[in-house]
A and B are shown apart, each in its own frame.
Chain A
Amino acid sequence: MKKIFAIAEYTIKENIRHKVFYTILLFALVIIISSVLFSMLSGEEETRVILDIGLGAIEIFAFLSAIFAAVGLVLGEMENKSISLILTRPVRRFEYIWGRYSGILSISLFNILLMSSGLLFLLFVKGWSFDFRFLLAVTFIFLKVVIISALAILISLISTSPISSISVTFFLWVLGHVTDHLKYLNHVLLEEGVKITIFLKAIYYLLPNFQYLNIKDYIGYPNPLVGTTIFWQVAYSLAYASVATWLSVLVFSRKEF
C-alpha cells in the first residue's frame, strides 16, 4: 500500500509542476466566471444558465485534465524509459498502475472541488438557493472521470502514440454519452430487416454509459432522485473502472521495457 501511495504522490507532484495543469484550471475558471455574462442575457433564468455553463465547464475540464494525466504521464514515462528505474525496484506491476491511477484521481478530485467552489461562490452571489443535487452532480462528474481515467490508462498501454490514445479516449467519451441512441439504432435497423442486434448490444454494454451518470441535467427541475438508483449508478461506475484498471494491470504485467 505504501508503494501505491508513493507512486500516487509523485503523480500528483508531476501534475502540479506541469504548465498544462494550470492552463486547464485557468481556462475552466475563466469559462465559469464568464457564465455570469451569459446569464445576464437570459432574464429570469440567470442562475440556471450559470449552473449549466458552470457544471458543463467543470465536466469538460475535469475530463481534459484526467486525459492529460493518464495519457501524457503514463505513456510519456514509458516512451522516455524513466519507468525502467521504477520497475527495477521491488514494485509490483499492479502497484504501479493503481498508484498512477490513484494519483490521477486525487488530482482530478482537487480540480473538481476547486472549480465547484468557484461556481458555488458565483451562484450564491447571484442569490441561488442551495440544491443538494448540486453536490450529487459534482460527485457524478467525478465518477465519470473515475471511469474515463481508467479507460485512458488502458488505452495508453495498448496504443503506441499519445495522439492515438487521446483520440480513442475522446471518442469513447463522446460515444459514452450517446449509448442510448444505439438502442434506437437497433430498433430502426430491425425495421429495415438488418439484424445486428447482438453486435449492437455488445457495443452498448461494453461502452461506458455516461448518460446514466448525468445527474446535472436534473438540477432545477422537479425530478426526484431515487436512493437505489444512485446506489446502482455508483456501483456501475466503480465496477466499470475496476474492470478497466485490472485489464490495464493485465496488459502492463506482460509489457517489456
Chain B
Amino acid sequence: MVAIRTENLTKIYIRKHLFSSKKTSALENLNLEIEDRKVFGLLGLNGSGKTTLLKLLVGLLFPTKGSVYIFEQKFPHLSLLSRIGYLPEFPCFLMYLTASELLHFYGKLYGLSTKEREQRVEATLDLVDLKDNRNDRLADFSKGMLERIGMAQVLLHDPELLLLDEPTSGLDPLGIKKMRQTILRLKEEGKTILLSSHFVTEVERVCDQVGILHKGKLKKIIKMRGLESSLEDLFTETVSEAV
C-alpha cells in the first residue's frame, strides 16, 4: 500500500506588503510516492522545501495546487490525523504543563478514554525515559528532555505514519544515537516514517529510500539497498548539477 502520494503538489508563499506582494515558490509540482512500512528520507539544503512538504502533509499549510493522499485517502481528512504522528523541527510545548498533563491533553484530543490515556501516557513516558519526570513542568526540562517529550507526543497514539522534521538537529551525540535507535525500532514495528534532514550520514543509516529536494523540486529518488556510490557524493552531485 502507498502511505503517502502527492500529485503536482505546489506551494507558493505570498507575502503581502502595503502596495505589492512577493511570491516565493517553496514546492513545485511535487509527485512523490512513499510505500508503507518504509523509512523515507528527505534530503535537502536549508530552504529546499522539506519543512513545507511536511507541513502540507499535516494540514498546517494549504497547497497552492495539487493534492495529497495519505493511505489512499485524500487529505485533509480529520480521521487521517489520528494515524499520523508529527514532530516539528523546533517543537514548542505548553510549558506550564507537566509532562503527564501535556500527554493527557493531547490524548484527549485523540478522543482516548481515561483508561486508555493513562495506559498510553505511562507507556510512552517509559519509552522515552521520562517516567520519573512525569510531574515536572516542561518549563524546567532540559533541551534533551524536551526532545524526548517531543518524541513521546509523536508516539502517544501509536500512529502508523510518522513525520519527523529534522529529528536529530540540536541533539548531542548520545541523543542522536538514541533517536537513531528509536527510528530503527519503529521501522521494525512496521511504521512508515518520513524524515527530513540535511545530515546525509544519519539518513544513510536508517532510510530505505531517499529523495533529494532542491529549490522546491524533487531531483532524485534513491533506493538505499544495493547503492554502490556514497549517498553524500550523490547528494552533492545532484545539488551541484541543479545550481
Using CB atoms and an 8 Å cutoff, list the residues of chain A in contact with chain B. 2-3, 6-7, 9-10, 13-14, 17-18, 80-82, 84-92, 256-257
Task: Please encode chain B, from 44 to 76, with 1 for each CB lying within 8 Å of some chain A CB and 0 for all others.
Answer: 000000000001001111100000000000000
Task: Please encode chain B, from 81 to 112, with 1 for each CB lying within 8 Å of some chain A CB and 0 for all others.
Answer: 11010101011111011000100011011110
- Whether the pair A88, B60 counts as a contact (CB closer than 8 A) is yes
Contact partner, B58, options A10, A80, A88, Cβ 8 Å: A88
With known contacts A6-B105, A90-B79, A85–B93 Cβ distance under 8 A:
yes
- Whether the pair B108, A2 counts as a contact (CB closer than 8 A) is yes
- Whether the pair B93, A88 counts as a contact (CB closer than 8 A) is no
Contact partner, B101, options A13, A80, A84, Cβ 8 Å: A13
- Whether the pair A89, B92 counts as a contact (CB closer than 8 A) is no
CB distance from B18 to the nearest CB of A (A): 14
In this assembly, does B242 line the interface, its C-beta being within 8 Å of a C-beta of chain A? no
With known contacts A3-B109, A6-B108, A81-B88, A88–B94 Cβ distance under 8 A:
no
In this assembly, does B78 line the interface, its C-beta being within 8 Å of a C-beta of chain A? yes
Q: How far is the CA of A64 from the CA of B86 in the complex (A)?
A: 36
In this assembly, does B196 line the interface, its C-beta being within 8 Å of a C-beta of chain A? no
With known contacts A6-B105, A84-B60, A90–B92 Cβ distance under 8 A:
no
Q: Which of B62, B78, B105, B111 has the most CB of A within 10 A?
A: B105
- Whether the pair B81, A90 counts as a contact (CB closer than 8 A) is yes
What residue of chain B has the Cβ atom nearest to residue A14's Cβ?
B96
Q: How far is the CA of A85 from the CA of B96 in the complex (A)?
A: 15
Q: For A7, what are the chain B residues with a Cβ–Cβ distance below 8 Å?
A: 109
What residue of chain A has the Cβ atom nearest to residue B108's Cβ?
A6
In this assembly, does B153 line the interface, its C-beta being within 8 Å of a C-beta of chain A? yes
What residue of chain A has the Cβ atom nearest to residue B62's Cβ?
A256
- Whether the pair B108, A88 counts as a contact (CB closer than 8 A) is no
- Whether the pair A85, B88 counts as a contact (CB closer than 8 A) is yes
Q: How far is the CA of A17 from the CA of B91 in the complex (A)?
A: 21
The 9 lowest CB-CB distance pairs between A and B, nearest first, are: A6-B108, A89-B109, A82-B92, A90-B81, A17-B96, A88-B58, A88-B86, A257-B60, A81-B92
- Whether the pair B59, A82 counts as a contact (CB closer than 8 A) is no
What residue of chain A has the Cβ atom nearest to residue B11's Cβ?
A256
With known contacts A6-B109, A85-B88, A85-B153, A90–B93 Cβ distance under 8 A:
no
